[in-house]
C-alpha cells in the first residue's frame, strides 16, 4: 500500500481521488534546451513522498538534481548538464562537463586518474557519463496496491577492433516512498576478454552536507590516497564549513559486510532544520562492489562529499593492471549491480541507520 501524507491507501482508494496517477507520482520525459545543454534527454521523477529527481538518459543515465521536500540532496557543479557532444576525453577534460548531481557513472572500461595503459591514452573516469542511452523506456505500473515508475536505458561502449560492452540500467521508485533503486547489468558482447572498471559517483551537497554533518560507514580500514589526504586523516568523516583554498582529499575504505555481502553507508546532518535531522544512505553488495572511495571536497563552491562504491580504486587503469586488481569481463559474461538510495527525515531514522551500520561492523 502507498503511504501518503500520513495515511495508507489502496490502489482503488488512490484512483478514486485523482484523475490520473501522475497527480501524485510520475516519470515524465523532457528535453533540456538552454545553451550547451541543448538536446539532453531527461526524465523528471516524483514519488509523492517529497522525493523528486531528474534522470539523464542523455548523459549516461545519471541522476542530476535530486531533492526531498525542497531540500537538495546532491551537489550541482557550475558546468551544468552539458550535451555529450562537448565531451573532452583527454586528461582532466571530463571535469568540464561533470555536472555533479546525485549520481554520475564512471566506466565502463576505465575509471580514475588519467594514464597511459597498454599504449592507450586514457582520460579521467571514462566515457559512460557522456554517452546518451539507447532504447530508453519510461513507464509505470501497478503491482497490487503499489505503484512503480521507472526509467530504463542502454549505454554502449564500443570501438572497432576493441571493446563492446553494454550497460543496461533501470532506475525505479515507488509511490509514497523516499527511496531510489538502481539495477545495472554490464554485458560483454564482444569476443575478447575486456577490461571492466565501474564506479558510482554519488555527490552529496548542501544542505544535507553542512558544518557538523558526518559520513558514516562500517569501515575496517581507511587509507589516504596521497599525502594531501593523510593530513587530517583522523577527521575523514567530519564536515566543516567551506574552507578557502581547500584541496580535495580522497580515502579508500575497506568495509565490513553482512554474511550475504550487503553493506550500507550514509551521510547524516543531525542539526538540519532546528535538529529535525536529514540524512541519506546507500545500500549495496560488497560482493558486487568491493571498494568504497570517499571524495572529501569542502572548498568554496566545490562543497561536496563523494560516496563512491566501485569495483576498483581510482589511481588509474595502468596501476590496477600492474597490481593485479584490474577486473575483466569474459566474452558473453554479464555482471549485475544493485543499489538502494534512501532519504532519512528524522532523528529516529538517523539513529536507526547508525545502529544498522554499527551492527554490520560488529
3-state DSSP call for residue 178? coil
Alpha-carbon span 271 to 278, nearest angstrom: 8
Q: How many domains does the chain have?
A: 1
Range of the domain at 61: 2-361
* pLDDT value of position 154: 98
* pLDDT value of position 1: 87
| Predicted TM-score (pTM) of this structure | 0.97
Query: Which ranges of the chain have pLDDT less than 50?
Result: none
Q: In angstroms, how far is the first alpha carbon of the chain from the final one?
A: 34
Alpha-carbon span 215 to 307, nearest angstrom: 9
Chain position carrying cell 502507498 = 2
Helices within the chain (DSSP H only): 11-17, 227-230, 272-275, 317-323, 347-361
Residues in the chain: 362
Alpha-carbon span 264 to 149, nearest angstrom: 24
Alpha-carbon span 68 to 178, nearest angstrom: 8
List the grid coordinates of 27: 516519470
* pLDDT value of position 267: 98
Q: What is the pLDDT of residues 172-202, one digit of tens each?
A: 999 999 999 999 999 999 999 999 999 999 9
Q: What is the pLDDT of residues 273-303, one digit of tens each?
A: 999 999 999 999 999 999 999 999 999 999 9
Alpha-carbon span 309 to 289, nearest angstrom: 6
CATH of the domain at 175: 2.70.98.10
User: CA of 113: how far to CAs of 126, 170, 315, 345, in Å?
Assistant: 10, 28, 5, 36
Amino acid at each position: 500500500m502507498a503511504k501518503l501524507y500520513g495515511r495508507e491507501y489502496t490502489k482503488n482508494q488512490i484512483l478514486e481521488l485523482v484523475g490520473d496517477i501522475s497527480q501524485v507520482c510520475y516519470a515524465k520525459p523532457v528535453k533540456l534546451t538552454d545553451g550547451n545543454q541543448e538536446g539532453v534527454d531527461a526524465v523528471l521523477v516524483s514519488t509523492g513522498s517529497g522525493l523528486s529527481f531528474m534522470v539523464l538518459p542523455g548523459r549516461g543515465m545519471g541522476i542530476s538534481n535530486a531533492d526531498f521536500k525542497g531540500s537538495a540532496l546532491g551537489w550541482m557543479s557550475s558546468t551544468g548538464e552539458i550535451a555529450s557532444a562537448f565531451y573532452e576525453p583527454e586528461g582532466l577534460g571530463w571535469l568540464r562537463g561533470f555536472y555533479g548531481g546525485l549520481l554520475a557513472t564512471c566506466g565502463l572500461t576505465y575509471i580514475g586518474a588519467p594514464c597511459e595503459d597498454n599504449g592507450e591514452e586514457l582520460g579521467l573516469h571514462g566515457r559512460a557519463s557522456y554517452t546518451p542511452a539507447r532504447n530508453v523506456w519510461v513507464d509505470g505500473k501497478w503491482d497490487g496496491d503499489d505503484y512503480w515508475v521507472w526509467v530504463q536505458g542502454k549505454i554502449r561502449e564500443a570501438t572497432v577492433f576493441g571493446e563492446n560492452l553494454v550497460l543496461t540500467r533501470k532506475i525505479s521508485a515507488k509511490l509514497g516512498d523516499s527511496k531510489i533503486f538502481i539495477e545495472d547489468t554490464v554485458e560483454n558482447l564482444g569476443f575478447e576478454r575486456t577490461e571492466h572498471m565501474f564506479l558510482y559517483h554519488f555527490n552529496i551537497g548542501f544542505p544535507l552536507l553542512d558544518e557538523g554533518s558526518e559520513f558514516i560507514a562500517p569501515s575496517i580500514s581507511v587509507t589516504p590516497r596521497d599525502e594531501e589526504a593523510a593530513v587530517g586523516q583522523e577527521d575523514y568523516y567530519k564536515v566543516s564549513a567551506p574552507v578557502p583554498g581547500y584541496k580535495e582529499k580522497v580515502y579508500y575504505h575497506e568495509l565490513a559486510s553482512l554474511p550475504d555481502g550487503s553493506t550500507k553507508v550514509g551521510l547524516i546532518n543531525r542539526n538540519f532544520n532546528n535538529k529535525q535531522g536529514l540524512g541519506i544512505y546507500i545500500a549495496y553488495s560488497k560482493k558486487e562492489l568491493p571498494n568504497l572511495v570517499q571524495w572529501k571536497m569542502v572548498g568554496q563552491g566545490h562543497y561536496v562529499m563523494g560516496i563512491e562504491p566501485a569495483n576498483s580504486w581510482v589511481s588509474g587503469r595502468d596501476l590496477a593492471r600492474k597490481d593485479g586488481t584490474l577486473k575483466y569481463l569474459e566474452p558473453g559474461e554479464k555482471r549485475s549491480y544493485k543499489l538502494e538510495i534512501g532519504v532519512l527525515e528524522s532523528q529516529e531514522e538517523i539513529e536507526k541507520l547508525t545502529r544498522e551500520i554499527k551492527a554490520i561492523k560488529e
